[in-house]
Chains A and B, each alone.
Chain A
Amino acid sequence: MISLNSVSKQFNNHLALDNFSLEIPEGEIFALLGPNGAGKTTTINLLLGFLSTDSGTVSVAGIEPFKNPAEARKIIGYIPENVNLYPQLTGLENLKYFTQLASSTYSDEDLRHFLSTCGLQKSAMDRPLGTYSKGMRQKVGIAIAYAKKAKILLMDEPASGLDPLASKELSDLIRKLAKMGTTVLMASHDLFRVKETADRIGIIHQGKLLKSLKAAEVTANDLEEIYLGTIV
């Protein structure tokens, strides 16, 4: 579903991705684990079609995102670290607007259902987003991707700054979406959240994918040791 093949990308003198390859099959949750500046966000930007590669190929469901961004984005949902939607609009209104942009027309009832599925309390749906916690905003962001019926969900540090409960809820939600067939790529430097959420974990450092592990086969402590041993 997601494929990066020998991709290199350089910004001025900084090599962000260095002969980077990655394959993520449909329905898998893949976590890119790495320190700041490792190349996680660059990978996501390549998949979103915001950047072109210097060498190598990128494809999502067989589509090259940079060459055909409109087609690629039709099947992609994107959750940034901070889901800064419109604070003056309610959660419901935000969802309505963003689904309209994706050329979908849903009734308010459908939209409430999407928000509810993504874990947003009914009482919060008609409140301005400006009054939401970060976790609640992330849920609205995921509801946008869910309503879009995105086949691929790209998440950039989605759990950053969330309290443990909100973080756990987010993990559950991501797993729920993956069970429905959504392929997820999440970039993170949160070892424990990654371990709890992902099917597979890739350790990325200085633009290279150094290790790829099955989450079920390692404990959190093992993962920490491997991670520190890899990047230090």
Chain B
Amino acid sequence: MKAIIWNEWILLRRNPWFIGLIIVLILIVGLTSYFGVAETKKLIAMEAEASAEIRSQWDNQEAGNPHNAAHYGTYLFKPSSALTGFDEGVNGVVGKTLYLEGHRQNEIQYSEASQSLQISRFGKLRPALLLQLIIPLLLIFLVFASIRTERESDRVRILLVQGGDFRQILFGKIIAYWLLSVLFLLVTLSLQLILQSEKLTTEVILRTCLIGVGYAAFYWIISSCTAYLTANLRQAGTALSLMLACWIVWGVFLPKISGTLGEQLYQLPTRQAFADGMRADRASSLDGHNPEEEKLAALKDSVLRKYQVETVEELPINFDGLLMQADEEVGNVVWDKHFGDLNKVLRKQKTFTQVSSIPNPLQSLQSLSMGLSGTDYFHHADFMLKAEQYRRQFIKSLNEKHAYGGSKTGDWEWAADQEFYRSLEDFSYSAIPLNQVFNILWTDVMILFGWVIGGFLLINSSKFRI
């Protein structure tokens, strides 16, 4: 086996076309890694700068009414994960800036895709794209050429007569090219780590290593499938056509088919229908700015009873603050219902996409790569959820200050001091921990694992067609 592997490497080393191609690929991966990491660093710095600026504006605002501050709101910037430079995932299209305010939940805005036609159409050139599409293509050609030459030159007979077992020969060739692709993978991932060495954490290193395992598994699948088909089909050329067809179907058609099918099976409401539904439910619940509303009677009665007074004007607190919070909580229920339903549908779509990738290991790899890079839909949804939790706490703090800060009902001129605004905690986002990421990605892991085992079994059951 060692001799077969070594022999393949010597043959490659003496092939000037291959050496040229490898140099070009290393240059491309080096440049994409550099630009990816540089762009991510720039983004992280911009996010930090913008967050600091927004916080500074918040901290330095004049003393003012908390409810006005709730309407004034604040901005959150979705933090970029350290591995965004490796795999952009959905980050290019979902937006980065979230405006938080009282009474309503806003959508995240300003995606790069919305501002760049090229990104919206093609996505960004990231190392992940090269590793997912170009390296497998190279592997298909190399494994195919190696086995086809043995067959067509009739060298395979000499190899077999010399004592080479055909399975051993196939495994030797697969391992030779697989190790080569793994070496390329290691170079790419090491570059990622080296280029951002100042920000490395154990989690980032661990995630990078696991990404490497996922890609290595995919390369094994590609190598073994190509080897099996080339060795077993009567016409070796058919094997190349089949594998290229797989490459196109896996990379282009199946993801679109499963995506479209998922959207058809689990339909999302249109933006208009969604907004109308929210508005209708919101309208049928209470309006915090209208104290005459019937639905507020119960709240008003309980507060008056609690403080043993007859009118809200007699209360030692500001009833308007309580009304605002009550309104907020009703709004939260409406949001939870509608966004909860929306998220359920999105999760069903994502799960469908994951399961439908059983015939498409590339889709599982893409899901794994985005998930481990922290750039998939689940990470985005997690950010949105944590941002909403923060918004609720933020608005609640303002409403409570309005209610219990010392003002009386109807006193909209009362102002909370600067100290209060400074005391409100800033938003701090921690991405989904790695162990939870695996709960989300286990389907993809199992599919890739199944394909790897399948690759072993295929080669073990194959015969060299002579």
Contact = CB atoms under 8 A, between A and B. Distances in A.
A101 B164 contact: yes
A158 interface: no
Chain B binding surface, main DSSP class: helix
Chain A binding surface, main DSSP class: mixed
Interface residues of B, number: 20
Interface string B143-157: 000000000011101
Interface stretch (B7-15, B41-49, B255-263): B7-15
A73 B155 contact: no
A50 B157 contact: yes
A48 B157 contact: yes
A80 B157 contact: yes
Nearest to A85: B155
Interface size class of A (residues with CB under 8 A): 20 to 34
A86 B12 CA distance: 12
B165 interface: yes
A76 interface: yes
Nearest to A148: B162
A85 B160 CA distance: 13
A89 interface: yes
B22 interface: no
A214 to B, nearest CB: 29
A58 to B, nearest CB: 15
Contact of B163 (A82, A84, A86, A101): A101
Given A70-B163, A88-B14, A89-B11, A101 B157 contact: no
B163 A78 contact: no
A103 interface: yes
A85 B159 CA distance: 10
Contact of A74 (B10, B159, B163): B163
Interface in A130-157: 141, 144, 148
Interface string B10-29: 11001100000000000000
Shortest 8 CB-CB contacts between residues of A and residues of B: A84-B153, A100-B3, A78-B161, A101-B162, A88-B14, A102-B163, A101-B164, A102-B162
6 contacts: A70-B163, A78-B161, A97-B3, A98-B162, A101-B159, A103-B163
Interface of A: 48, 50, 69-70, 73-74, 76-78, 80, 82-86, 88-89, 93, 97-103, 128, 141, 144, 148
Interface of B: 3-4, 7, 10-11, 14-15, 153-155, 157-165, 466
